[in-house]
Structure 1
Amino acid sequence: MTNAAISVRGLQKSYKDLHVLRGVDFEVQKGSIFALLGSNGAGKTTVVRILSTLLKADAGTATVQGHDVSSAPLEVRQSISLTGQFAAVDEVLTGRENLVLVAKLRHLPDAGRIADDLLAKFRLTDAGGRKAGTYSGGMRRRLDIAMSLVGRPEVIYLDEPTTGLDPEARIEVWDVVKELANTGTTVLLTTQYLDEAEQLADRIAILHEGRIIANGTLADLKQLLPAAKVEYVEKQPTLEEIFLTLVGTGKENAA
């Protein structure tokens, strides 16, 4: 599709006898939020590492903003930013100093103005002069995402961005992610939290045992289950029910 910011076809990756990805296919449209949903070990982070040019696939192709991750890694890196599962902020530096440092590393002019603009965008202006080590979990994560946006990347990968956060901090991050999409940034979000995918994503792909077993809007995925049984009121299936029906309860994998 011509409007795809990310296109993945037949992606495979193994570590000796462990087959992590078994032919993954999906597309992410420009300016959208795409959630890659799966349990721990499903292969989500491996997909992100390949799309970030940090890892080579064994087979298949992937393009980001039209650039092949294998043959044009530099162009891909110039188009993307990655926020991993754990905040990468320097806790000794202030919030503003963290942002200034990233801007200078990217050789951008007027690093101070860039830092101040991002502090304002992420509601961190009042805390900008404090050491990042004093920030709450939600503030630290917001700063981490702000650092990822220095240089205005067209595509941002958020690899389980709310892991370990309390409910209030998670909502803060959700608001940030929604704002990113509203301003035209393409977001690839990996998560194991079903409500997160349900709240944020324009499209959801369920990754299970190295394969995409479902891909569509929330409404599309709801159609995969039988119509709601009407007794007194109609109960629509939740994303959790869809997920567990498609991948099983996981009890057989618990050992």
Structure 2
Amino acid sequence: MEEYAFQTEGLVKRFGTTTALAGLDLHARPGTVLGVLGPNGAGKTTAIRVLATLTDPDEGLARVGGLDVVQDAAAVRPLIGLAGQYAALDEELTGLGNLVLIGRLLDLRKRAAVQRAQELLDRFGLSDAARKPVAAYSGGMRRRLDLAASLVGRPRVIFLDEPSVGLDPGRREDLWRVIRELTADGASVLLTTQYLEEADALADDIAVIDHGRVIAHGTPSELKQIVGGQAVAARPRDPGRLGDAAAILATVTGHPVERAGRHEIAVPVDSDRAVFEVARRFEEQGIALAEFSLRLPSLDEVFFALTGAPRNPPDSSGNDGTEARRSQA
């Protein structure tokens, strides 16, 4: 029997008359990233809180490293790191002080705690602010410090709940690099996100949940097959030729053409031969192209097909309708 880095089986959690989890089944192999997608209130944060031993389930099982999160909670906690939707930092302490404090709570000797803190501050681009109080940090800096705090104990399983909210694109790329480095070293990551390109870039497998249960599971490529087929997208160099390009696409493929952007159009294709025929006709008609690609559906399209509604972009707090107010399990 395969041992997963973490897993849930038939997980149920109720809050009064609200059922947050309704038989949730998740699992991830060691050294991989499991992306968990879902609309606001789907139960993503509640699932993390159960796996992180912060909330007991009402029914079902949850395991981390083969250990039951309820019966073996004390043994599970040293194995995990958690960065929740809300940064849990002491604003009166410096960035360095926060990380050293966590290291000491994790039984590191003072020298080792300081060394680990400095390593993480360097890794997250916070060295220059290491001795400033957290109260003076920007929102993005606090988010990075909270992420660093989740890694102080070198956890083997890391739960990241909407980690990119509040980060600018450059810092988001830095975070992606760190996640890839962690999994390369053998760590496993559960990543909830509403940035679907983030899941596409990082996740080995994706679970889409809605109303507290998994409605689809697979690799990004497998999930994209749910929508079906491939599409050709074209953007003429001269926007005035958009109508001519659309006419060629419709004639060759026999499918209606859709707008994919301000000056870009796309149409489903049934075979690779249609792609070559479209390209040939563009050349015949002298339509120069700024972009021309054959692509699978996007995860946004998959999300819409599965849930019946566009994804909800994260608000300023990244809240998905449940609460996660601690960043270190």
Once the two structures are superposed, the pairs formed by residues 14-163 of structure 1 within 5 Å of their partners are 14-109=14-109, 110=111, 111-163=113-165
CA distance in structure 1 between the partners assigned to 2:217 and 2:26 by the alignment: 8
CA distance in structure 1 between the partners assigned to 2:124 and 2:166 by the alignment: 20
Moved more, 158-167 or 226-235: 226-235
Structure 1 residue 238 corresponds to structure 2 residue 298: yes
CA distance in structure 1 between the partners assigned to 2:75 and 2:59 by the alignment: 21
Moved more, 60-69 or 177-186: 177-186
CA deviations over 1:79-108 (Å, ceiling 9, x no partner): 112111022222332221111111112221
TM-score (norm 2): 0.71
Show structure 1 runs of 5+ residues with no match.
Answer: none
1:209 Cα deviation from its structure 2 partner = 1.1
Structure 1 residue 203 corresponds to structure 2 residue 205: yes
Moved more, 86-95 or 96-105: 86-95
Q: Flag the 1:180–1:139 CA change in 2: closer, same or farther, 3 A.
A: farther
CA deviations over 1:40-75 (Å, ceiling 9, x no partner): 100001101111111111211111001001211111
Residue identity matched to 1:143:
L
1:132 Cα deviation from its structure 2 partner = 2.8
RMSD of aligned Cα (Å): 2.0
CA distance in structure 2 between the partners assigned to 1:5 and 1:154 by the alignment: 8
CA distance in structure 2 between the partners assigned to 1:204 and 1:193 by the alignment: 13
Residue identity matched to 2:142:
R
CA distance in structure 2 between the partners assigned to 1:51 and 1:40 by the alignment: 19
- Write out the 4+ residue segments of structure 1 that deviate beyond 4 Å after TM superposition: none
Larger of the two Rg values belongs to structure: 2
Q: Secondary structure at the match of 1:234?
A: strand
In structure 2, the residue matched to 1:218 is: 220
Identity %: 48
1:147 Cα deviation from its structure 2 partner = 1.2
**Alignment coverage as a number of residue pairs:** 251
In structure 1, the residue matched to 2:193 is: 191
CA deviations over 1:160-215 (Å, ceiling 9, x no partner): 11223333333333233222222222111112221221122111100111110111
1:113 Cα deviation from its structure 2 partner = 1.7
Given that 1:225 and 1:237 are in contact with CA atoms closer than 8 Å, whether structure 2 keeps it comes out as: yes
Within the candidate set 278, 283, 308, 1:248 is matched to 308
